[in-house]
Amino acid sequence: MLLISPRSTQGTRSFITNPPCTLCTPWFKVFLLGLILVLTGCGKEPLYQQQSFVFGTQVEISIYGADEAQARAAGAAVLQEFDRLHRAFHAWQASPVTQLNAALARGERHRVTPELAAAIRTATRYAENSEHLFNPAIGRLIALWGFQSDEFKPIVPAPEQIAALVRANPRMSDITLDAASWAQSRNRAVQLDFGGYAKGLALDRALQILRAHGIQNALVNIGGNLIALGRHGDRPWHVGVRHPRRPGALLELDLRDGEAIGTSGDYQRFFELGGKRYCHIIDPRTGYPAARAQSLTVLAPAGAEAGLLSDIASKPGFILGTPAWEAQLKRLGIEAAMVVDESGKIAMTKTLAQRARLVREK
């Protein structure tokens, strides 16, 4: 692990980074922007970009080296799938997830869609591998803190309410699924929230769709979670990771074909009361927002679940903070990662240090 002085952090160059936190705050009402197609290249190999607003954040698809009609069709198909996934996995607006949550709260069996059944099985696997620090079953805690709402009211819940939900100890392993996709839970406190899962799933789906449309080179950015397909012409896709406290990039690196990068931070969805910051990532062990890091970034290797892993793996490391984050990420298959701790000190794995460059402060 490489330790770096917190002064060597601020950047001025423009790269694809997490969007301004005002776009990610929970009181910013989710809406879908009109499709935008921008031609920014020229000659035989243009760069096409399509943008939208979904999953409560800014989404951008950059396609290199395809003709306009092909790029337009591929980008539109990806954005359409993103919108569908947003609705399918929504935690508080009517969706298959809210239907299941209502049944689990009543102690009833409920037949789920094949897509949701697959998500439950996959999320359970990752939850167990992360010692349940990644835990989509704590939807009640997330709602209690006000992070399941389009209209956000910053309020610290009563300690006894938090303690009661922690004692209930809802976990993904409380859910059972039979071969016909009937789901039930022995723990009525289980309420699913796939907010730390759906963006990663969407990244993997995006690559599948782009490849099916014959696209060989593209970069997909969902609120700072990115996945690369091919290259940007004669060079890799060059991206940056946002600084958690200052404008601009903290880190730059080249994304190789099929790799994905994801960041969890306390600056995306949060509120402040009494001089204390409360972010949307809840520690299932305490019931309180994680506070041991400002941000944690992971680089997931190419694979069928690269996007999913990049979204999921950053949560347990962020919750643990230093010094336990690195060992936790290795258990999830992540060798390249960086953490900015609560004091602003930066630590980076040797694997990432060989690939990335910190943006130096002027």
Q: Model pTM?
A: 0.87
pLDDT value, residue 46? 85
pLDDT value, residue 8? 32
pLDDT band (50, 70, 90) for residue 352: very high
pLDDT value, residue 10? 30
Nearest one of 270, 269, 265, 320 to 296, comparing CA atoms: 265
SS3 44: coil
pLDDT in tens, 227-265: 999 999 999 999 999 999 999 999 999 999 999 999 999
Two structure tokens written together for 5: 């002085």
Question: Residues 6 or more apart from 340 whose CB is under 8 A from it?
Answer: 6, 244, 250, 293, 294, 295, 296, 346
Domains and CATH numbers, the chain: 2-89+198-358 (3.10.520.10), 96-185 (1.10.3980.10)
Q: How far is CA 268 from the centre of its chain?
A: 11
Q: Average the pLDDT over each of 8-12, 84-88, 184-188 and give the range with the smallest value.
A: 8-12
Question: Residues 6 or more apart from 52 whose CB is under 8 A from it?
Answer: 32, 33, 35, 36, 58, 59, 79, 82, 83
356-358: strand order across its sheet: 237-242, 249-255, 356-358
Phi, psi of 48 (to 5 degrees): -105, 140
Distance CA 88, CA 83 (A): 9
pLDDT in tens, 259-292: 999 999 999 889 999 999 999 999 999 999 999 9
Q: Average the pLDDT over each of 3-7, 123-127, 242-246, 254-258 and give the range with the smallest value.
A: 3-7
pLDDT value, residue 39? 32
Residue 256: exposure state from Cβ atoms within 10 A (0-12, 13-18, ≥19):
middle
More confident residue, 136 or 1: 136
